[in-house]
A and B are shown apart, each in its own frame.
Chain A
């Protein structure tokens, strides 16, 4: 029997793929990771159409359905965590129901989970940590996954907490793996108290390099004294490691800038389709 190809490479020539991003009116780099993934997936030829829409850039979420000719669309939020945007803003703006599939303007729309919640994101984080501190033994290294964090939404930290557990259990051999946040404890500003290993690799768990990953967090870490300009104009943080507070600090770009994020998006489409099949099977 011939094994089926990996689901992430399975073509859906009749279906469309919609990637949703936050976008920004101030950060020039906010939407680029989402566009780059769309370009990469389009070139694979797996879908009839691939489009992007945004909350704060054009085309806006509300224009989503006008972009597509095909009648079946997978929607993947290029967001890190389940929360206000994925549960309230996106369903409201797109007219999605509480169910995974909604019929909108004659199109069957399947709403996938956000990229940050997929197990394959762990592989990306591990690769990013290794690439940021090449040749440094994991046994002497702490990995710090940094998110925004907010007291307004308990789910905000969930994706990071899950990834931290997965990295610890991955067998990669890191001395420590911790979570840290900008606006809730454990605070990233206290990175030297959270970790004990001589080498510390900090990976921002954000989609884009921008205000948080290339400006706010470096200041909180002590890498910069004041806010540097936006990422596309900035080369300051490309030089690792920084000797700081008696440690070697390695700082990576936002995880969403990894070209392999396109694979995670395809994995989320597969997971969505699998969930639909299970739901159908359960209903029979």
Chain B
């Protein structure tokens, strides 16, 4: 039987795991684990704002320092200045899943071979309603969209899905499309296109269609 996610997270911590994206995890005197922004590692703990529950964490991660909404929690603009204390591994996982939704599960399921990437074409093919049109996006349009939406300046996740099951993105570095990370770091894995990509594909496909219509009229 598989070990559960909490046990896998505990094992990862025990072997030196201490970082996800912009989050640093440390053993703590006040609680079992202390989470901070990586920029705050050297800050005195009492200078940081304690986020004491999941609602406070959600409120903190909702917007960036400019006050703009963060539709992706893995965008690289997580505000510093906070502290989360987790008393046990269950609380630690809850906090991590709140700050980076779905990322702990994605990592361990992928590691266990139980979560495979799903290609952009497969994702678009199953869309219905207003997003049905997204499937007509060109390969070049898709590459351009993905480069724009998924680049590290917009999202820290590693893009493990491709256009089809058989190809690779030429717009990204090898690191951006790999699950390998420095020791102690848990990669943020993206296993299939998100809502921003699906919505963007629809808009791109519409623009491409309109350009073709215009050219032939």
Contacts and interface: CB of A to CB of B under 8 A. Distances in A.
Contacts of B69: 25-26, 28
Interface residues of A, number: 25
B194 interface: yes
A252 B106 CA distance: 39
Given A26-B69, A28-B63, A56-B195, A66 B55 contact: no
B193 to A, nearest CB: 9
B195 A35 contact: no
Contacts of A63: 102, 105-106, 191
A25 B62 CA distance: 11
Interface in A70-86: 84
A92 B195 contact: no
A35 B102 contact: no
Interface in B50-101: 53-55, 58, 62-63, 69, 71-74, 97, 101
A69 B72 CA distance: 25
Contact of B114 (A25, A56, A66, A89): A66
A149 to B, nearest CB: 17
Contacts of B192: 62
Determine the main DSSP class of B at the interface with A. Answer: loop
A13 interface: no
A263 interface: no
A56 B72 CA distance: 10
Contacts of A55: 195
A58 interface: yes
B178 to A, nearest CB: 20
Interface residues of B, number: 33
A60 B193 CA distance: 10
User: Which of B2, B53, B105, B106 has most chain A Cβ within 10 Å?
Assistant: B105
Nearest to B110: A66
Contacts of B58: 32, 35
A58 B105 contact: no
B163 interface: no
B55 A36 contact: yes
Contact of B126 (A57, A92, A105): A92
Nearest to B7: A69
Given A26-B69, A35-B54, A89-B128, A58 B194 contact: yes
A28 B109 contact: no
B84 to A, nearest CB: 15
Contacts of A26: 69, 71
B170 interface: no
Contacts of A25: 69, 71, 195-196, 199
B4 A69 contact: yes
A39 B118 CA distance: 30
B62 A69 contact: no
A67 interface: yes
A56 B196 CA distance: 8
Contacts of B72: 58
A57 B106 CA distance: 16
Contacts of B203: none
A58 B114 contact: no
Nearest to B104: A67
Contacts of A62: 118, 192
User: Which of A26, A32, A69 has most chain B Cβ within 10 Å?
Assistant: A69
30 contacts: A25-B69, A25-B195, A25-B196, A26-B69, A28-B62, A28-B63, A28-B69, A35-B55, A36-B55, A39-B54, A39-B55, A55-B195, A56-B71, A57-B71, A57-B101, A58-B72, A58-B73, A59-B97, A59-B101, A59-B105, A60-B195, A63-B102, A63-B191, A66-B109, A67-B5, A67-B97, A67-B102, A69-B2, A88-B128, A92-B126
Given A63-B105, A67-B97, 10 more contacts: A28-B63, A28-B69, A35-B54, A39-B53, A60-B194, A63-B102, A63-B106, A69-B6, A84-B129, A88-B128
